Amino acid sequence: MKHYILLPLAAALACAQVKITQAPDRLRVEIDGKHFTDYVISADATKPYLHPLRTAEGKQVSRSFPMDLVEGEKRDHPHHRGLWFSYGEVNGWDYWANEKSQKGVGKGRGEIKVVKVKDIKNGKKSGSVSTMQDWIDGTGKRVISEARTMTFYSDPALRTIDFDITLTAVEDAEFGDTKEGAFALRLARSLEEDSGGVMVNAEGAEKEKNVWGKRSAWADYSGTLDGAKVGVMILDHPTNPRHPTYWHSRAYGLFAANMFGEKDFTKDKSAKGAGTLKAGQSWRFRFRVIIHPGDLKSFDGAAAAKKYAALK
């Protein structure tokens, strides 16, 4: 099995506002001199993930468990690690509930491993990192090669991340139809709907009963964190396959975009939301995450979505 390759970092600009530093098990992201998040690429991790995620003021919007044990946090779903991208059924293997303590569904667990850090760029207004990771089934076989670029932006009030993800099949990769996916974030306890938080989609529908399983170009999840209103917005780019995506967003704090789980979401047994990525073919997915102050009464989600949709 391949292992990620450490590359020497180019000398960072002394005045860089976004600085990404590589360590053996993670990529550390600092914005305006403050730690924002780590991209965890440890050999022990069954998938790479971002943790923790913070506001511009430094408040943590992502759940700490299972990376850290914090009193009062729920300790369910140990595979909900920070912010991640994976899927629950590829050729029968589970890349979603794939902790080493879990059996996975179907044939069992698959793993996603970072095999190369290709490029790191630091800058005044933005910084980015590009990586390659392999989706490996339970027999050790490479099924998918994933190319990912994450771009982080400096802003006095916002924390914005752009994700550009391309999946290329090494062999035919059949994506089953399941709700368990795909681009996902587990929120801090105080932001959950169960704790008074509010999820809203682009059509203005609110709460899990009206957002879960519905298609929408974006969704926002906000609540009160350490006495301040804070929100997280996830946007599905118009060029994505099967746009607008379905939402697998729960009152207990799971916030996920899943473009494939049509049968689960619509309850239509004849639906075929998933498909097969043929060997050599690729799917490209782009998402934007915005961590913002306030809720949609003070943050203009529609304007943010329009701006992202215009990004070529």
Mean pLDDT of the chain: 94
Beta bridge partners of 228: 225
Nearest in space to 11 (alpha carbons), one of 120, 126, 144, 105: 120
**Is residue 6 in some structural domain?**
no
Report the pLDDT value the prediction gives residue 111, as an integer from 0 to 100. 98
Report the pLDDT value the prediction gives residue 140, as an integer from 0 to 100. 98
Residue type present at position 259: M
Report the pLDDT value the prediction gives residue 8, as an integer from 0 to 100. 46
Cα–Cα distance, 23 to 34 (Å, whole number): 17
Percent residues over pLDDT 90 in the chain: 91
Report the pLDDT value the prediction gives residue 130, as an integer from 0 to 100. 98
**Is residue 3 in some structural domain?**
no
Q: How many domains does the chain have?
A: 1
Report the pLDDT value the prediction gives residue 312, as an integer from 0 to 100. 86
Report the pLDDT value the prediction gives residue 16, as an integer from 0 to 100. 66
**Is residue 12 in some structural domain?**
no
Cα–Cα distance, 168 to 145 (Å, whole number): 5
Measured CA distances, 218 to 25, 175, 186, 247, 265 (Å): 32, 23, 17, 9, 17
**Structure tokens, 192:** 């959950």
- The DSSP secondary-structure symbol of 48 reads -
Report the pLDDT value the prediction gives residue 44, as an integer from 0 to 100. 94
**Is residue 35 in some structural domain?**
yes
For the chain, residues with pLDDT lower than 50 are: 1-14
CATH number, domain of 24, equals 2.70.98
**Is residue 13 in some structural domain?**
no
Report the pLDDT value the prediction gives residue 269, as an integer from 0 to 100. 85
Q: Which structural domain range is residue 268 located in?
A: 18-70+79-309
Measured CA distances, 27 to 1, 31, 38, 122, 154 (Å): 21, 13, 5, 12, 17
**Is residue 189 in some structural domain?**
yes
Q: Is the dihedral of CA 307, 309, 310, 312 positive or negative?
A: positive
Report the pLDDT value the prediction gives residue 275, as an integer from 0 to 100. 87
